Amino acid sequence: MTAFTITLDPIGTLTDEAFYQLCRANPDVKFERSSQGELIIMSPTGSESGRRNADITIDLGIWNRQTQLGYTFDSSTCFKLPNGAERSPEAAWVERSRWQALSITERQNFPPIAPDFVIEL
């Protein structure tokens, strides 16, 4: 996977809402944002990486269904991290009480929470 980083300093910054709207308006593009506010455009993965990602997501989901300890997320979920970065790990897990402490609005947008467990390929 190749990532392209765009520095927005010369023209300003994206607010959280503007970044969210940019992602919604371009669903076929995978955007992330660094803690410095740089826009990161991720390229699609190859089939082997996609296959491994699917296997990991399935395994994490099965484990979570058996334990019922929290919630699992795939690579389409973007999390707003405490350092300001907004990232989409290949697979993530959040403990139930931490997830339920978020408001409905926070859960529906890019949740402002660092997952308890992430997998990056």
Domain boundaries, the chain: 3-119
Is residue 73 within 8 Å of 94, Cβ to Cβ? yes
Model confidence pLDDT, tens digit, residues 89-102: 999 999 999 999 99
**Global confidence as pTM:** 0.90
Write out the two tokens for 40: 């990161």
Its CATH class, for the domain covering 3-119, is alpha beta
- Largest Cα separation within the chain, whole Å, is 50
Helix (H) or strand (E) holding 22: helix 16-25
Model confidence pLDDT, tens digit, residues 75-84: 999 999 999 9
pLDDT value of position 45: 86
